[in-house]
Structures are given as structure tokens and as C-alpha cells.
Amino acid sequence: MPKGPAAPQARPRRSPRASVGARNGGCSPRGSAAPTASDAALEALLARADRALAAGELVAPPGASAADLYREALRRNARDPRAAKGLEQTIDRLVSDAEGALQERHLQDAQQLADSAHAIGPEHPRVAFLLAQIGAQRERLVLDKAQHAAATGNVAGALAALDDATRGGRHSTVVEQARQQLAQQQVDERVAEAVRRGREALLHGQLIDPPAESARFFIESARALAPGDPRVQQATQELIARLQAEAGKALSAGNPDQADSWTSAAAAAGAQRADVAALRAEAQRLRASGKTDSLARLALSFNERLAAGRITDPAADSAKFYLAQLLQADPDHPTTQLARTAFDTRVLDEARGALRAQDYVLARRWLTEAHAAGADAASIGAVETAIGAAQDQAQRASYVSASSMTRTHYVEPQFPLDARRRGIDGWVDLQFVVNTDGSVGELTIVGAQPVGIFEQAALDAVRHWHYQPVMRDGQAVTQRARVRLSGCAITWTRSSRRRASAC
């Protein structure tokens, strides 16, 4: 068979599809180990494959195309859904480009793109349907030419059109017989033979395949020669009835894509529009039912993972992962909404549990998950407030009164002269850290009355204080402390001495 032209490179899409491979990662409250070399290699393969897909490099160059890279990723990790979804997207792109070429009647380009898609997914229903369409269009072009020629009395032209069907190594016995019969001006016999072979193919279940030996081809060949012949019209009705019956069987078997293929063949053969519409409506209903079943399976997986405590880990088999699948399939479906509510409730419960355990870091991680999931803002805010309050209380509880410690060096506060003259009383609350050597550091003013009068004097004095180091288990440790310096018992007069008390 002569070598055809190089396969056309798939055209870039006008609007890129959403990325598959669900990026299902995210911050896990439990933490995660550093990625392994195998994980890094897989992620690199998927990234290269995504870039090749975005660039339209679907099947070329070899080894660097989207198809090759996604297949390699699938070999590395057969459980990672992103590689399979990437191959699905690659097939979809090839099929869509082939359909575009088919609509423009570029059959050779469409055939090569369809062959590339078939090499990736030989069982893919869209590929099978596309190949059937291409075969049907090839036949239709040949038959239209033959029918037009025969209708105008050009038997030689009809013969030439039928001969086109055998080019490229495609052999058809009926075409050869039709050519011989046309040459002998025995149109009636050729019609009878085509009808006979068409019925024979019907008997053997060869309705549309193989393309040049099918009932459709023989009967359409007869129609091209004698469209008004009663025998041809009867055979056509028999073909339509069988095609519709096969569509019904496919629907009963739960295969709407196969049903659509049979229905399209029946429509092309001349089936009634009402019959075609009914079959297509049933296929659509079946698809909707299949979607419901798919959502139910995803919801079951979600509930099982949630019940098992696998909320966010592992990334590709957790409740979070299956919720993302539900949202992608149908975000507004009641099943999806129930799962979303359950997830929001659970992560908020986990945050509250971490709060009760005083693990504030973990509690905030769960709140991050709640934010990302779109949980109720008021509920998130309430937990955030509770965490903040608990942390403040814990911090306050960590300070001891300075009076409970042994001070070894004291510097008296030098309160402002203006305050002395005006006879101003007041106090200053400080927090500080007693270091392991007894020195004071990390001073902080936490309150003062009146504000702006005594604070600096208090800081200047306390930073020079010294305490006996705090010992725990024979080791000196740092200790947080608090103190109030008060001038409340002092009335500043000309004859009085400055005095301050540490309360």
C-alpha cells in the first residue's frame, strides 16, 4: 500500500480545556514527607505532558508528545488519575480536530488524526464513532458520485465513481461486479445483485462493517444505481429497521455512545426523523442516569474516607479528593452539596478538637482547609476567635508575679519631674523575661495609668534589675514575669522623697 502523507499535526485549540489530573494536592494538617525521586520524575513527566498538550504536540515528536508522555506517566503510576485524564484529553483533541477536518471534507487528514486517536485508545467510543463517520463519508462521496452519474444516464461515470471505492488497496467484490455489469449495460441485474448481497450481509449481522462488504454499502450502491426501484426501497427499509433495532439493543445494554452510532447510521439511511429523535432522547436520558450513578459512586467513596478519618490524606484517595471530583462532575447536584456540607462540618470539628487539645497550629491548619472549601464564614470566624482567646489566655498563664521571685538587684524608678511637681499618681504594668543568668530582658509595657507619664521611667529602671536564676531539675531556665510599678501611695511635694512600690 503506498505510503500516505505525514500525519497532520493537531491544530491548537482556541480555548484550552480545563487541566485534568486533578491537582489534588494541598496543605495537609498532618504534614507530608519530602517527595521521593519517583514522585519528582512523575510530576516532571506530567508537567511536560501538560505543556505538550497545551502546545498541540499531541502525537509528535515521538517520545516528547503529549500521548507518549502521558503513557509513560501511566506506566510509572497506574493509580494516578492525571495521566489517564491527560490521555483522554489528547484523544478528545485528536477527535475534535478530525471532526473539523471531516466537516471540511478533508478525509485524508481526518483519517490520519482518527488513526492516531485509535492508536492511543482503540476502545474509545468517540474514536470508534469517528472512524465509522469517516468510513461512511468515504462511501457517501463515492455513492453520491455514482448516483448522480446514474441519474443522468451516465453509466460510465457511475462505474468510475464506484471504482474509486477500490483505490488505496480497498477491495470490494460488489464494485468489481457492478463495473462488469455496467459495462454490459445490465443495470437491473446489478441492482438485484446489490440488494441480494445487502440482504445477505443483513443476515450475517454485517450492517455497517466491514465498510465495503456491509449491508449499508451494498444497499446504498443499489440506491445509487436505481433509487426508485421497489426492491431497493424495500431493502433500505429493512436496513433502517435493523439499524434502529441495534440502537435499541445498545440502549438496553447501557451504552448510549454505541446507540448514537447506530442511530446516526439509521438517520443517514433515511430513517424517520421522529424515530431518530426518540432514540437520541433515550440515549441522552441514559447518559443522565449514568451521571447520577457516577455521582453516587463518588459520594460513597467520599463518605467512606470521611468516616475513616482520611479527610485530606492521602492526596489522591481522601475525602477532599473525592469532593473535588464531585465538584468537577456537577457542583450544583444535591449529592455534591451534601458532601460539601459534610466536609465543611468535619474540618471545623477537627479545628475545634485541636483547639481543645491546645494544638493551635493544627487548629489553624484545619481552618485553612475550611477556608479553601468555602465553609461558613461565621463558623470559621467563631473558631478563629476562640483560638485567639485561648492563645492569649495561655500566654497570660505563662507569666508569674515578679514578687514570687528573689530580686538580687533593684534600681528605683526615676519618675518625671513634671509628675512630681503636679502630684500625679499612677502605675505601670510590665512583662519581662528573667534570663538564666538572672538578668532582665524582653520588656513590654502592657498597661499604664495615666498613659504616657511613667512608662519610660519604669522601663529604664526594670531593665537594670537582677533576680536569682530560676532553677528547674537542677538547671537554670528562663522565666516570664510581670510586675506593677505604682506611685499610687505617693503624693509629690517639695519635701517628700520619691518612692515607688512594686505591686
Angle between helices 273-307 and 230-252 (to 10 degrees): 10
Dump pLDDT digits (tens) for 162-190.
Answer: 776 666 556 555 555 556 655 555 577 78
* DSSP symbols for 278-326: HHHHHHHHHHHHHHHHHHHHHHHHHHHHHHTT-SS-STTSSHHHHHHHH
- Check pLDDT > 60 for residue 460: yes
76: helix, coil or strand?
A: helix
CATH of 399-487 given 3.30.379.10, 3.30.2420.10, 3.40.50.10740, 3.90.470.10:
3.30.2420.10
Identical fold between 40-147 and 399-487: no
Compute the half-sphere exposure of residue 189: CA atoms within 13 Å on the CB side of its CA.
10
> Where is pLDDT greater, at 243 or 121?
243
pLDDT category of residue 429 using cuts at 50, 70 and 90: very high
pLDDT at 171: 57
In the predicted model, what is the mean pLDDT of residues 252-276? 89
pLDDT at 27: 35
The Cα–Cα gap between 414 and 500 comes to: 9
pLDDT at 366: 93
- Joined grid coordinates for residue 51: 505543556
Range with the poorest average pLDDT among 11-20, 166-175, 177-186, 481-490:
11-20
The Cα–Cα gap between 154 and 146 comes to: 9
- Check pLDDT > 90 for residue 410: yes
State the DSSP H helix or E strand holding residue 261, giving kind and residue range, or none if neither. Answer: helix 256-269
226: helix, coil or strand?
A: coil
> What fold is seen in the domain 40-147?
1.25.40
pLDDT category of residue 14 using cuts at 50, 70 and 90: very low
The share of the chain scoring above pLDDT 70, in percent, equals: 81
Quick one: three-class SS letters along 438-449? CEEEEEEEEEEE
Where do the domains of the chain lie? Answer: 40-147, 187-271, 291-396, 399-487
The share of the chain scoring above pLDDT 90, in percent, equals: 22
pLDDT category of residue 30 using cuts at 50, 70 and 90: very low
Dump pLDDT digits (tens) for 305-327.
Answer: 889 889 889 988 898 998 898 88
pLDDT at 173: 55
On whether the CB atoms of residues 491 and 425 are closer than 8 A, the answer is yes
pLDDT at 444: 93
Q: Which residues pair with 466 in a beta bridge?
A: 409, 439
> Where is pLDDT greater, at 76 or 160?
76
Q: Cα-Cα-Cα-Cα dihedral of 61, 69, 85, 342, to 10°? A: -140
The Cα–Cα gap between 53 and 70 comes to: 10
The Cα–Cα gap between 120 and 53 comes to: 14
Compute the half-sphere exposure of residue 191: CA atoms within 13 Å on the CB side of its CA.
21
- Check pLDDT > 70 for residue 72: yes
SS3 content of the chain, % helix, strand, coil (to 5): 60, 10, 30
In the predicted model, what is the mean pLDDT of residues 395-399? 66
> Where is pLDDT greater, at 471 or 492?
471
Q: Which of 479, 483, 482, 485 is nearest to 434 (CA)?
A: 479
Cite the DSSP H helix spans in 104-186: 107-120, 125-151, 155-163, 173-183
pLDDT at 175: 56
pLDDT at 263: 92
